[in-house]
Amino acid sequence: MQKRTLGTSGLEVSAIGLGCMGMSFGYGPAGDRREMTALIRAAVERGVTFFDTAEVYGPFTNEELVGEALAPVRDRVVIATKFGFDIDPDSGAQRGLDSRPERIRRVAEASLKRLRTETIDLFYQHRVDPNVPIEDVAGAVKDLIQAGKVRHFGLSEPGVATIRRAHAVQPVTAVQSEYSLWWRRPEEEVLPVLEELGIGFVPFSPLGKGFLTGAITETTTFAGDDFRNLVPRFSPEARKANQALVDRLGAIAAAKGATPAQIAIAWLLAQKPWIVPIPGTTKRHRLEENLGAATVALTADDLRAIGESLSAIPVQGDRYPERLEQLTNR
């Protein structure tokens, strides 16, 4: 597996990471713990060194899974986790945002225990809290870095003004946001600012929450607790309309001797050398497929053809319900 450095921070990770959320949360019932542990360790064997989790995934159970799975190889991997939600410790219900410094410190201590580690490699603010100045957030993480409990600071789905303000207090190593062939908005403002400031970029949902794999159609049904049931872009009508994009991606993939998922990930890798996508999966064959994207070479002509071809197909449906979209780009 090739390696990449997130911006100018010096944090080196595998060119493709593994998003672990879906193993415990978000896409239906949690996976079998033994099978998910085996999957994470298989990723390590294949050269993956970058693993993404968060306290809210589960909540808490995903960090516990990742901590247990990676404990035997802790010195070989980079673990990213997140703070920023107010979570009821008894019910696990989300009660809004909370990035107060005292809350950040408590989350860090709890995450360290669940992850079975002495240091969190990359600590993201999960969503920007409008009630807490970002300077206070950055300052709290700076204190944790100085105390040796955190190595690097990150932000998830922030606006560019927030990135600049946070970076002025504590250098931001990475920004995590959705980015893929069917969600390209980071290109407008975020990516230029990250390049200017020397910050790495970690795209989540690089396969469009599974849609770009071609495995989801208008007739697909999701489990009752799968959050895609709430996403406008995944309504049956939107999926039917968006099938044209997947069909086109499939034709491009066939011409390159690859799968649609591999083309989608390879396209991301080709955008900038400091971009590290984190596709998630609960299946070993999908892990192998996703990691195979690192060997797919796309020429400048390929990239131009992909961009022009897919840009001509408008994507139908918002990517989040309005209440969730309001939490982004602050």
**pLDDT category of residue 311 using cuts at 50, 70 and 90:** confident
- pLDDT per position as a tens digit, 68-94: 999 999 999 999 999 999 999 888 888
- pLDDT per position as a tens digit, 170-228: 999 999 999 999 999 999 999 999 999 999 999 999 999 999 999 999 999 999 999 99
The mean per-residue pLDDT over the stretch 289-314 comes to 93
The mean per-residue pLDDT over the stretch 27-48 comes to 97
Mean predicted lDDT score pLDDT of the chain: 96
**pLDDT category of residue 155 using cuts at 50, 70 and 90:** very high
Q: What is the DSSP string of 182-236?
A: TB-GGGTTHHHHHHHHT-EEEEE-TTTTTGGGT---TT----TTBGGGG-GGGSH
User: Is the peptide bond prior to 171 cis by the omega test (within 30 degrees of 0)?
Assistant: no
Of residues 27, 57, 124, 179, which has the active-site annotation?
Answer: 57
The pLDDT assigned to 90 comes to: 84
The mean per-residue pLDDT over the stretch 226-250 comes to 95
The pLDDT assigned to 91 comes to: 86
Single-letter amino acid code for the residue at 294: A
Q: Where are the domains of the chain?
A: 3-208+273-296
**pLDDT above 90 (res 164):** yes
The mean per-residue pLDDT over the stretch 289-298 comes to 97
The pLDDT assigned to 192 comes to: 98
**pLDDT category of residue 263 using cuts at 50, 70 and 90:** very high
The pLDDT assigned to 154 comes to: 98
Residue showing tokens 């597996």:
1
Q: Please, which residues have CB within 8 angstroms of residue 173's CB and are 6 or more apart in sequence?
A: 6, 7, 9, 11, 122, 152, 153, 154, 199, 200
Each residue of 152-180: b (16+ CB within 10 Å) or e? bbbbbbbbbebbebbbebbbbbbbbbbbb
Helix, strand and coil percent figures for the chain, each rounded to 5: 45, 15, 35
Quick check: is 124 catalytic?
A: no
Q: Reduced to 3 states, what is the DSSP secondary structure of residue 90? A: coil
CATH code, residues 3-208+273-296: 3.20.20.100
Distance CA 204, CA 62 (A): 16
